[in-house]
Amino acid sequence: MTAPLASQRILLGVSGGIAAYKSADLVRRLREAGAEVRVVMTAGAARFITATTLQALSGHPVRDSLWDASAEAAMGHIELARWATRVLVAPASASTLARLAHGHADDLLGTLCLATTAPLSLAPAMNHRMWSHPATRANLELLLARGAQLIGPGSGDQACGETGPGRMSEPADIVASLSGAGDAGVLAGRRVLVTAGPTFEDIDPVRFVGNRSSGKMGFAVAAAAVAMGARVTLVAGPVALATPSGVERVDVRSAAQMHAAVFDRIAGQDLFVAAAAVADYTPAEVAGSKIKKAEGPMQLELGRTRDILAEVAAASPRPFVVGFAAETDHVLDYARGKLQRKRLDMIAANRVGVAGSGFEADANTIELLWPEGGTTLGPAPKADLARALLAEVARRMGGGA
């Protein structure tokens, strides 16, 4: 069997933080997965772990300075930048994220990240307040927009004695993420029904009431579920997105059509992920011809649509039910209320109306809640969020590790 990282040349950047102790195990696991590994340390990293340890585990001298006369005689940093097929920074401290986001090149690691064309992966590690600070979030958005891959962080007890998101992902999870094999098969044999996109509620043959949902999150969930081994049906509102490979797609336009499509297919499903932004209201009457402009205001009577998510959650038997909550404020309060009121198994909440996240964006941050707790996912590309969400779902369904 071929090692998952065979032929990969991974340049591991270790920055300053207590999580640097995990880098020794990470080097060992990367090599076990078939990768060749070379290590670059920042000055801060040397306060937590020795170059001798990392050299012994990697089998190569460790670099820590732009001013190493012997290495730089032949422009060694450029040679390293060309050598790597992937750059992995683990742990990536808040300071390192800021330096990489803004292109600082006054140390070896920053210079290498600017000089290489290899993909960049980041495994952050910091106090949970530092992780949630707007400056860190802004730096991450810049890095993600440039194509960086975010691995973690996890949530739990921290060295400072506090608890929250910001723990560096475990070395085994980082290797699995790099190899793309971490969650393969965790939904094998499961049947999954996903809704995605907006609904359009017609006023007349020309006009409709709609919303700004692009469908990207729901389509990412469908693609990730297939990759995890599930048999997936996707009920999609009107969006301009290609059907993910291996997904059965059903196109609808209105909330009523989406309701019908879901309940035609819900029997026998193991998981229902309601990522669609279904209209809450629809015109009471649809005009048969275009309504002409007239003097004065126009009154439009709207009626409530049926609540697809609540009806699925109330069914017996029923699948594991995951809802979505798109909110402009009080995100956690509204999401927790929706989780309890509709008796969902899980809800994914995100803030909309903010540049770079929510509707139409390629990246997002999700507050994932369930009756006993929750966790923060992201900021990350929606494809990564979908995999992380489904991995948590699989664990709670009893299908994951």
Domains of the chain: 9-179 (3.40.50.1950), 191-397 (3.40.50.10300)
What's the pLDDT band for 248 if we cut at 50, 70, 90? very high
Query: What type of residue sits at position 166?
Result: G
Question: Is 70 exceeded by the pLDDT of residue 355?
Answer: no
Question: Which of the residues are catalytic?
Answer: 160
Choose among 344, 72, 328: nearest CA to 336: 344
Give the pLDDT score at 68. 67
The pTM of this model reads 0.60
Give the pLDDT score at 70. 55
- Specify the higher pLDDT residue, 67 or 91: 91
**Cβ proximity of 385 and 367 under 8 Å:** no
Choose among 274, 233, 275, 235: nearest CA to 254: 235
Question: Is 80 exceeded by the pLDDT of residue 351?
Answer: no
Burial, 287: exposed, middle or buried (Cβ in 10 Å; 0-12, 13-18, 19+)?
Answer: middle
Give the pLDDT score at 164. 75
Averaged pLDDT of the chain: 87
Give the pLDDT score at 73. 44
- Mean pLDDT is highest, among 11-15, 136-140, 391-395, for 11-15
**Cβ proximity of 11 and 83 under 8 Å:** yes
Q: What gap in Å lies between CA 355 and CA 128, rounded to an integer? A: 23
What's the pLDDT band for 90 if we cut at 50, 70, 90? very high
Give the pLDDT score at 2. 58
Q: Which residues contact 181 (CB under 8 A, 6 or more apart)?
A: 4
Average pLDDT over residues 40-59: 94
pLDDT tens across 187-231, in order?
988 999 999 999 999 999 999 988 889 999 999 899 889 888 899
Give the pLDDT score at 177. 75
pLDDT tens across 53-70, in order?
999 999 999 998 877 655
Question: Is 80 exceeded by the pLDDT of residue 154?
Answer: no
Q: Report the 3 state secondary structure along the chain.
A: CCCCCCCCEEEEEECCCHHHHHHHHHHHHHHHCCCEEEEEECCCHHHCCCHHHHHHHHCCCCECCCCCHHHHCCCHHHHHHHHCCEEEEEEECHHHHHHHHCCCCCCHHHHHHHHCCCCEEEEECCCHHHHHCHHHHHHHHHHHHCCCEECCCEEEECCCCCEEEEECCCHHHHHHHHHCCCCCCCCCCCEEEEEECECCEECCCCCEECCCCCCHHHHHHHHHHHHCCCEEEEEECCCCCCCCCCCEEEECCCHHHHHHHHHHHCCCCCEEEECCECCCEEECCCCCCCCCCCCCCCCCCEEECCCHHHHHHHCCCCCEEEEEEEECCCHHHHHHHHHHHCCCCEEEEEECCCCCCCCCCCEEEEEEEECCEEEEEEEEEHHHHHHHHHHHHHHHHCCCC
**Cβ proximity of 175 and 193 under 8 Å:** no
Q: What gap in Å lies between CA 123 and CA 210, rounded to an integer? A: 39
